[in-house]
Structure 1
Amino acid sequence: MSGAAHGQGRQDIRGTVRGTAPAPLSILDLATVGTGVTAGQALAATTELARAAEGWGYHRFWVAEHHGMPGVASSTPAVLIAHLAAHTSTLRLGSGGVMLPNHAPLAIAEQFGLLEALHPGRIDLGLGRAPGTDPATARALRRGELEDPDDFPHRLSELTHFLDGDFPDGHPYARLSAVPRGPERPPLWLLGSSGFSAQLAGRLGLPFAFAHHFSAANTVPALELYRSSFRPSAVLGEPYALIGVSAVAVPAGGVPEARRLAASAGLAMLRLRRGMPSPIPTPEEAAAYPYSPAEADFLEGWLGNVVLGSPGEVADGLEELRKRTGADELMVTSHIHGIAERLRSYRLIAQAYGLTGPDAPAA
């Protein structure tokens, strides 16, 4: 995998821990589209959240590529990142992630080279190997049959060569350039929910982000595999692991009220798994849904992986998870119905977790 660490000096991936927080805390946002909410309103809410997150002291803010999902408006991370960067000034912004098999590596190198040129030192390029959609939509995106997912290392190598401008002599692309390309490139992260990307990230000496929020049973094994596979690189001297965590904090009502809000995302995921994607339902819709026994079990399993309750309960739950997994950074997502409820959840979490910033909420 030559080129995976070239052109990018060893960096302080962790950054500065804000306030009394035990580790950096970040946000994964999906530009949530709930029942009765337009895509424009959802994207405006994401913009408002990014600006607020910067003031509260969150470390980074990532958006994810999904397609064909009525409840998610972040289908094109590069476009949304450019918009968010224009409305913030210090917050790190990135993709969590770009689904590389959906794209020509040169196109991604150009997109993120442009973002880095516009906003130097603020852009992360997180990469996943899943399609982020159903097989039919993936074929439409790729204009052909689905590729072997094991081809991901080759595509990653090609992308890094384009980013670094260092294809070897004789390579078919040796004369091609990704433009613009400055002296630095955005930090590369590998994302995953299983062991494949964990092992690859370790072998390449790259930071790794694990999707604990929908693959909690695999979190500890994947992180152990990442650390045991890790080889120091020009990018990173030691392993650095981030985990995505679903979390919902409420000012009153504790765990029952937070569960009521979180059930909206659970029902949305249930519908998605059944091939019937929808906007995020309201809590009332989720409460009234006639769950079969199997569906009720699915919902309980989903809620069991959400850190929820009062601000203090959520902060304690996040810290317990950090210690249990050894994660270097936590990235929370409150994928719930209601713009005001989402912003409130992130604000309460920032306050309880000890983040500081120019607009940090008072304790």
Structure 2
Amino acid sequence: MSDEIRGLARGDAEVPLSVLDLATVGVGSTPSESLAVSTELAKRAEEWGYHRFWVAEHHGMPGVASSSPAVLIAHLAANTRTIRVGSGGVMLPNHAPLVVAEQFGTLHALHPGRIDLGLGRAPGTDPATARALRRAADVDPDDFPQQVAELTAFLDDEFPEGHPYRRIHAIPGEANARGVGRPPIWLLGSSGFSAQLAGLLGLPFAFAHHFSAANTVPALELYRSSFRPSEVLDRPYALIGVGAVAADTDAEALRLARTGALSMLRLRLGMPGPVPTPEEAEAYPYSPLEQEIVDGWLSNVVFGSPETVRRGLDELRERTGADELMLTTNINGGAARIRSYELIAQAYKMA
């Protein structure tokens, strides 16, 4: 089992809490300001005792400034000292595995023991943008297992004799791996495909409960039943991403959570934009169908006072058996985002 995850093995200690950040851009702010908030949040999360800080890859979304995880990870790692920093995730079909191996090999060489490489199989964007990223129209998400194998081989310098890439070296990735190992690879998913693949490969698994809550328990059960011990893990390790918003009162937390819900609704309607203000979310004229969508979304967000949020997170952890909870807070207002994580840390007596 990896040293990092061995140290997190569940016992009497609290489940580790981590952060998934999208560098959320709200109405009235700019991407530069949002990235500055993310930097401050990473520093504070480290102080409060959060275990890891991941950033997600999205493209063409005005409300998300984290389009380039490797660049942002380099900045965040350079501005922190101990917290693990990684991708939640790199959408591997968008990138050549060699490029990812070189990027994360470089990050791992700069910050050994602190970098996580989370991989997803979805494009994280629309088809036209995906084609622009890949420079090809024939990349199939079902090729994901082969892409993961290729990336791993580049990081480990373990292509077999006769393989066309045998003579290619991902520097500093594979050279660094011979010294201090490679960054841990996680598989991310919102369905059973990556859950089963992670289990078969003996890798840690991160499930997107925050936007696929109905699939959480079945996917985790599939991951655990499919699991085969590996050099990385001798037993399953599952993390779930959870939408969470804490404020001083339940009412204020709901007011903030509605900004993220309206942002999500507009994205589903094909009208993505910056995360609206609380006033805008309150005044929006929801149709019955739109209200149903928003209510459904909010039903899977853990929001409220610090005590309310802790109860909700504890219940979710107990119901799913998750080994780690990764909190994502996509609301309008950088100060409110930072405050939410602080209140949750206080509720768990971390801060």
TM-score of the pair, normalised by structure 2 = 0.96
* 1:216-250 deviation line (CA, Å, top 9, x unaligned): 00000000000000000000000000000001111
Q: Equivalent residues in 2 for 1:35-54 (5 A)?
A: 35-54=27-46
Corresponding residue for residue 59 of structure 1: 51
Structure 2: how far apart are the matches of 1:11 and 1:226?
21
Residue 4 of structure 2 aligns to a residue whose secondary structure is coil
Whether the 8 Å contact between 1:11 and 1:235 is mirrored in structure 2 is no
Q: Equivalent residues in 2 for 1:116-131 (5 A)?
A: 116-131=108-123
Q: Which has the higher helix share?
A: 2
The structure 2 residue matched to 1:339, chosen from 325, 334, 338, is 334
The structure 1 residue matched to 2:171, chosen from 165, 179, 187, is 179
Corresponding residue for residue 259 of structure 2: 264
Structure 1: how far apart are the matches of 2:77 and 2:299?
34
How far apart are residue 147 of structure 1 and its match? 1.9
Alignment partner of 1:149 is 2:141: yes
Structure 2: how far apart are the matches of 1:17 and 1:249?
27
Alignment partner of 1:277 is 2:269: no
Structure 2: how far apart are the matches of 1:51 and 1:110?
26
Corresponding residue for residue 303 of structure 1: 298
Structure 2: how far apart are the matches of 1:227 and 1:321?
18
Decide whether aligned partners of structure 1 residues 73 and 250 sit closer, same or farther in structure 2, where only a CA change above 3 A counts: same
Q: Equivalent residues in 2 for 1:25-174 (5 A)?
A: 25-174=17-166
Structure 2: how far apart are the matches of 1:208 and 1:351?
27
The structure 2 residue matched to 1:226, chosen from 223, 227, 250, is 223
Identity, % of aligned pairs? 72
Whether the 8 Å contact between 1:11 and 1:236 is mirrored in structure 2 is no
* 1:180-208 deviation line (CA, Å, top 9, x unaligned): 03121000000000000000000000000
How far apart are residue 12 of structure 1 and its match? 3.4
Structure 1: how far apart are the matches of 2:311 and 2:263?
27
Count, aligned residues: 345
Whether the 8 Å contact between 2:186 and 2:203 is mirrored in structure 1 is yes
Structure 1: how far apart are the matches of 2:9 and 2:222?
26
Decide whether aligned partners of structure 1 residues 87 and 302 sit closer, same or farther in structure 2, where only a CA change above 3 A counts: same
Whether the 8 Å contact between 1:125 and 1:187 is mirrored in structure 2 is yes
The structure 2 residue matched to 1:244, chosen from 241, 255, 267, is 241
Structure 2: how far apart are the matches of 1:280 and 1:10?
38
Whether the 8 Å contact between 1:14 and 1:329 is mirrored in structure 2 is no
Structure 2: how far apart are the matches of 1:146 and 1:16?
40
The structure 1 residue matched to 2:191, chosen from 179, 191, 194, is 194
The runs of 5 or more residues in structure 2 that have no matched partner are none
The code of the aligned residue for 1:67 comes to H
Corresponding residue for residue 330 of structure 1: 325
The code of the aligned residue for 2:211 comes to F
Residue 5 of structure 2 aligns to a residue whose secondary structure is coil
Residue 93 of structure 1 aligns to a residue whose secondary structure is strand
The runs of 5 or more residues in structure 1 that have no matched partner are 1-8
Structure 1: how far apart are the matches of 2:30 and 2:43?
20
Corresponding residue for residue 24 of structure 1: 16
How far apart are residue 344 of structure 1 and its match? 0.5
The code of the aligned residue for 1:38 comes to T
Structure 2: how far apart are the matches of 1:326 and 1:16?
14
Corresponding residue for residue 285 of structure 2: 290
Structure 2: how far apart are the matches of 1:166 and 1:292?
56
Residue 35 of structure 2 aligns to a residue whose secondary structure is helix
Structure 1: how far apart are the matches of 2:170 and 2:349?
41
Structure 2: how far apart are the matches of 1:274 and 1:146?
27
Decide whether aligned partners of structure 1 residues 267 and 14 sit closer, same or farther in structure 2, where only a CA change above 3 A counts: farther
The code of the aligned residue for 1:232 comes to P
Whether the 8 Å contact between 2:275 and 2:332 is mirrored in structure 1 is yes
How far apart are residue 14 of structure 1 and its match? 5.4
Residue 83 of structure 1 aligns to a residue whose secondary structure is helix
The code of the aligned residue for 1:104 comes to A
The code of the aligned residue for 1:257 comes to E
**Higher relative contact order structure (alpha carbons within 8 Å, sequence separation ≥ 6):** 1
Structure 2: how far apart are the matches of 1:191 and 1:346?
23
Residue 125 of structure 2 aligns to a residue whose secondary structure is coil
Residue 12 of structure 1 aligns to a residue whose secondary structure is helix
Structure 2: how far apart are the matches of 1:211 and 1:10?
23
Structure 1: how far apart are the matches of 2:8 and 2:293?
38
How far apart are residue 140 of structure 1 and its match? 1.1
